[in-house]
Copies of this chain bind each other. A is one copy, B any other.
Amino acid sequence: MGLKGIVVECFVGFWDYETAKIMVVKNRPLGIIYRSVQFLIVTYFTWYVFIIQKAYQEIETGPESSIYTKMNGVALSGDTVQDMVEYVRPSEGGDVISAILRKEVTHNQRQGVCAEHFSVPGANCTEDSDCTPQEIGTEGNGKRTGLCVPYYNQTFKTCQIKSWCPIEEFAAVREPALKEAINFTVFIKNTVHFPKFRVLRGNTKGKKNLHSCTYNAVTNIYCPVFTLGYIAKQAEENFTELCETGGVIGVFINWKCNLDLDPSECYPQYAFRRLDLRKDLISSGYNYRFGKYYSRNGSEYRSLVKAFGMRIDVIVHGEAGKFSVIPTIINMVAAMTSVGICSFLCDWILLTFIDKNEIYSDMKFDGVTSDPSQDLATENTTVSQDLTHTDLSDNVQL
């Protein structure tokens, strides 16, 4: 057989079909275990992986999302009317929007000198030497001038500071809370786009005036207009308490779209949860300060506003799935491979518990020693596995 023969042989051999030889064990208990484990695995994959987890779908998470928010409503705070221009900050209507529910305003502040607040460490003094000039503590309101002055017509004295005067702690006026804000509405428009599937969805529908409807989870899911009271209630918060301390509430818009179904099945679901930890009493709440500036007689004045508000963070989650060949194949391969696992288990049961006379292990295992000529010499050490069919027939032939 020359080179040509070898090539021909290889070519012919290439088209042979090779398949593993299988031993069939006619043992009913083992068969029942075998089929039961197979059934469990197939059921798990069919039911959990394919039906519940929808492993046959290609998934896209993190869609492109655009949010546009707008608040509406008018209320009286004491004697002044507050409309959206007054209480909404920032005004641009992005994914974070806050409504000011209560203010502490320090009117007519201007750059100058005045007495430091008595609660600042080291601010109390009896004479000028108690106040080192040029020193600003991280908790002070300004730079000390070195003088010790009466505290705003009081009998005690504190260090004089260069600052915006009068200081907030002394002069802030607490305005009443905007309790009627419970009826303010916030319109949250959201569009999501899944680039992989080229699917665009919005949380509004139709051409009706969206600003005059109200969201209802059952009857009106395409009207994303919520009252602040509804949001607070859904987040299990007390609105009156929120007016006092402020708070950050997350509005979660959840898109879970099965694109194999009708498009109407792909609608947003809303959830509400307070985001600043509430148990932690000291640091909970939400407030910030800003100034309103005026120019009078050439000098600059400001109204310092400490605003306690309800901040709404709109957070969008999205997930879309659509049938795809590749994950289907991959998961089916994984399923079939997993079915093979029960062979491990059953082989172990078979060889350990059932195979008393080693008849099965003889059938299953064919022993070959490394050098055929040493077959007889090593027969003793390989006796347990060499009781194979080969040897049996050899023995017969003796």
Instruction: List the interface of chain A (C-beta within 8 A of B).
Output: 8-9, 12-28, 30-35, 48, 62, 64, 66, 68, 70, 72-76, 80-81, 83-86, 89-94, 96, 98, 111, 136, 138-143, 162-164, 180, 183, 185, 189, 191, 193, 200, 202, 204-210, 212, 248, 250, 252, 273, 275-277, 280-283, 286, 288-296, 301-302, 304, 311, 313, 315, 326, 329-330, 333-334, 336-338, 341, 343-344, 346-347, 350, 354, 357, 359-360, 363-370, 372, 378, 381-382, 384-385, 389-390, 392-394, 396-397
A83 CB contacts on chain B under 8 angstroms: 141-142, 163-164
A282 to B207, CA, bound (A): 6
A366's partner among B24, B80, B200 (CB-CB below 8 A) is B24
Give the CA-CA distance A275 to B316 in the complex, in Å: 15
Interchain CB contact (< 8 A) of A295 among B21, B294, B350, B397: B294
Taking a contact as CB atoms under 8 Å apart, the answer to whether B304 and A85 are in contact is: yes
- CB proximity of A267 to chain B, nearest CB, Å: 15
Q: Are A283 and B204 also in contact (CB < 8 A) when A365-B24, A368-B25 are?
A: yes
| A301 CB contacts on chain B under 8 angstroms | 295
> Contact at B66–A250, with CB atoms within 8 Å?
yes
A sample of 19 cross-chain residue pairs with beta-carbon separation below 8 angstroms, ordered by A number, consists of A14-B31, A14-B35, A15-B35, A19-B346, A23-B368, A64-B250, A64-B275, A66-B248, A74-B136, A81-B164, A83-B164, A85-B290, A89-B91, A92-B288, A189-B283, A205-B280, A333-B334, A359-B372, A390-B392
